[in-house]
Amino acid sequence: MRKFARYFPKYLRIDNFCLIIIIMSNNLDLKKGLDIPLKGVAAQKVVKTVDPGIVALKPTDFKGLVPRLLVKEGDPVLAGSPVFADKQNPQILFTSPVSGVVEQVVRGEKRKLLAVLVKADGKKESVDFGTKVPANADAVKELLLNTGLWGALIQRPYGVMADPALKPKAIFISSFSTAPLAADTDFVLGDALADIQAGVNALGKLTDGGVHFSVNKAVYSSTPFHKVENVISHVVSGKHPAGNVGVQISHIAPIRKGETVWTVSLLMVAAIGHVINTGKLDLTRKVAVTGPAAADPAYVVALPGTPVKEITSVSEGVRVIGGDVLTGETLGADGYLGFFDNQITLLREGTERELLGWAKPFRPKVHSSSWCYFSWLTPGKKYDMDTNLHGGPRAFVETKCFEDVTPMDIFPIYLIKACLAGDIEKMEKFGIYEVLPEDLALCDYVDPSKNDIQAIISKGIDLMIKEMA
């Protein structure tokens, strides 16, 4: 289609209707889903650029990684110097995002490596990886492995770190996020088009199935991302989780048993492209500081591993979440921004006990997607939500709500029950290969029985990994 556009630019400008018809062929309109009306969307401005004194590298950011430490306290590192590697695949390196000195190796129970803290020297020196465009798959692999960006490739099924020995069926990139208060990719990466293009070109060499690239239909006319070439593009519309790459895969090319696909976040595609274009590792990103408890929700430029305290001030009784409220991880006020995160959400801890909450006819401060309450009367309203569970855990009773927020061709409740039962065969049948916990995150939200669906799915996936290994 892109080629077509080059040959007939005038035609397209005059007759946009025709363009739309062509696009329709790769159109994905998802009807199910839910946009959680949360207060605190980040204003489109950068309020601060953080030059962190210390950054943390956390092996826990990468699922499936068993780290082997390559440095010791006191070692000097540059941006791009290896800090730890994967034990099973020692060629997969993880590198420091800044230049400085290894300050501390943080270990937890059973000496589990939790983080490596690097004290930045402020010189911003980088390892030079060269600006040669990698010519083939091996060159791309080598570059990614050495720069520490291999960890950016997520392999499905199971959502683990990609295996360098495999050739995936295809690579999927979603250029937008529909998660609550997610960073606006147009604002964050709109100026990085050249890097994204270089990244896409390189990734395309790793697979024969092509790079699938989805664009948000709602902003199709304004987003720069529809200019990305050498991709199989898809125009996607719908409520959350329409922006989730997993949901898109299940509609574009469902994963069969034995197949693997890789997914890469747009942020990481840009980082890969940046290394190719400049020869230097630069993971600097615009981080959206969001949420009802954020004093001034806006963007902050920071590195992964930056201490939360340097990004934003956190008051007492506020939970700091790396990522969005559905899938993010609790970082804590003393935590560090994760490798994949470009969002921090601040939420009040909801320990207050509301008198007769469930029995009140109206609860204007509490959102509910269920029509048992009256949130439907105020569709545009944003809510000052907190972390209260709003009920006690129960057995499953209402289960249709799961289907209403899962725009995939699966039966969520059957998959969930198969995971609970640890029944491998049923989990396979009901589509465990296609989902990650994030794709069913909304089930957590809507469940009146207050089950932790994501934790159940995650446990099921862990069992699959163990049994199928």
Partner 1 sequence: MADQNKPGLFEKGGKLYWLHSTIDAFDTFLRVPGTVTAKGAHVRDGIDLKRVMIMVVIALVPAALFGMYNVGLQTSLTYSLGWGFWNMFWYGFLRMLPLFVVSYVVGLAIEFGSSQIRGEEVNEGYLVTGFLIPLIVPVDVPLWMLALAVAFSVIFVKEVFGGTGMNIWNPALVARAFLFFSYPSSMSGSSVWVSKTWVPALKDVDAVSAATPLAIAHDGGLSALDAQYSFMDMFWGFIPGSTGETSVVAILIGALILVWTGVASWKIMVSSIAGGLLVGWLGQIGGATELPCYYQLVMGGFLFGSVFMATDPVTAAQTETGKWIYGFLIGALAVVVRLWNPGYMEGMMLAILLMNTFAPLIDHCVVTSAINRRAKKVKTA
Scan residues 234-253 and list those touching partner 1 (CB under 8 A).
253
Near partner 1 by CB under 8 A: residue from 191, 398, 462, 467: 398
Contact status: 392 vs partner 1 (CB under 8 A): yes
Nearest to 256 by CA among 156, 172, 153, 403: 156
Site string for partner 1, 255-294 (x = CB under 8 A): -x--------------------------------------
Applying CB under 8 A, which of residues 53, 399, 420, 423 lies at the interface with partner 1?
Answer: 399
Q: Report the alpha-carbon angle 45-49-93, nearest 5.
A: 115
Binding track over 179-218 against partner 1, x by CB under 8 A: -x--------------------------------------
Under the binding rule (CB under 8 A), the answer on residue 369 touching partner 1 is yes
**Looking at 106-114, 126-134, 302-310, 351-359, which segment touches partner 1 (CB under 8 A)?**
351-359
Does the N-terminal peptide bond of residue 157 adopt cis geometry, omega within 30 degrees of 0? Answer: yes
Q: How far is the CB of 394 from partner 1 (least distance, A)?
A: 5
When asked if residue 342 is in the footprint of partner 1 (CB under 8 A), the reply is no
Give yes or no for a contact between 210 and 173, defined as CB atoms under 8 angstroms apart.
no
- Give burial (CB, 10 Å; 0-12/13-18/19+) of 151: buried
Count the residues of the shown chain that bind partner 1, applying the rule CB under 8 A.
73
From the CB of 300, what's the least distance to partner 1, in Å?
Answer: 20
Q: Any contact of residue 8 with partner 1 (CB under 8 A)? A: no
Report if residue 344 touches partner 1, rule: CB under 8 A: no
CB of 277 to partner 1, least distance (A): 36
Tell me if residue 333 falls in helix, strand or coil: coil
382 binds partner 1 (CB under 8 A): no
- To the nearest whole angstrom, how small is the minimum distance from the Cβ of residue 346 to partner 1? 11
Binding status of residue 38 toward partner 1 by CB under 8 A: yes
Distance CA 406, CA 431 (A): 13
Quick count: other Cβ atoms within 10 Å of Cβ 296? 13
Q: Find the part of the chain contacting partner 1 (CB under 8 A) among 13-21, 127-135, 266-274, 344-352.
A: 344-352
Site for partner 1 in 428-457 (CB under 8 A): 429-430, 437, 441-442, 444-450, 452-455
Secondary structure (3-state) at 106: strand
Closest CA to 64 of 89, 83, 101: 89
CA distance 453 to 243: 20
Q: Which stretch binds partner 1 (CB under 8 A): 24-32, 114-122, 307-315, 365-373?
A: 365-373
Piece in contact with partner 1 (CB under 8 A), picked from 66-74, 75-83, 85-93, 369-377? 369-377
Contacting range for partner 1; rule: CB under 8 A; set: 51-59, 99-107, 241-249, 386-394? 386-394
Could you give the CA distance from residue 11 to residue 5 in angstroms, rounded to a whole number? 8
Residues making up the chain, counted from first to last = 469
Retrieve residue 201's tokens. Answer: 């070109």
Q: Give the residue among 27, 12, 34 at the shortest CA–CA distance from 401.
A: 34
* Binding flag, residue 377, partner 1 (CB under 8 A): no
Cα end-to-end distance, the chain, whole Å: 41
By CB under 8 A, is residue 60 in contact with partner 1?
A: no
Q: Nearest distance from residue 258's CB to partner 1, in Å?
A: 12
Per-residue contact flags (x/-) with partner 1 for residues 141 to 180, judged by CB under 8 A:
---------------------------------------x
What distance in Å separates the CA atoms of residue 283 and residue 48, rounded to the nearest whole number?
A: 16
What distance in Å separates the CA atoms of residue 116 and residue 398, rounded to the nearest whole number?
A: 45
Which strands make up the sheet holding 298-302, listed edge to edge? 43-49, 298-302, 285-290, 343-348, 318-322, 329-330
Identity of the residue, 79 or 366, whose beta carbon is nearer to partner 1 in the bound complex: 366
Least distance between partner 1 and beta carbon 383 (Å)? 9
394 lines the binding site for partner 1 (CB under 8 A):
yes
Q: Which two tokens stand for residue 83?
A: 């800090």
Q: Which helix (H) or strand (E) element contains residue 43?
A: strand 43-49
Q: How far is the CB of 449 from partner 1 (least distance, A)?
A: 6
Judged by DSSP in three states, 460 sits in helix
- Among residues 75, 76, 373, 465, the one that binds partner 1 under rule CB under 8 A: 373
Residue closest to 116 by CA, chosen among 32, 58, 74, 77? 58
The residue range among 48-56, 142-150, 226-234, 379-387 that interacts with partner 1, by the rule CB under 8 A, is: 379-387
| Cβ atoms within 10 Å of 313's Cβ, excluding its own | 14
180 cis-preceded (ω within 30 degrees of 0)? no
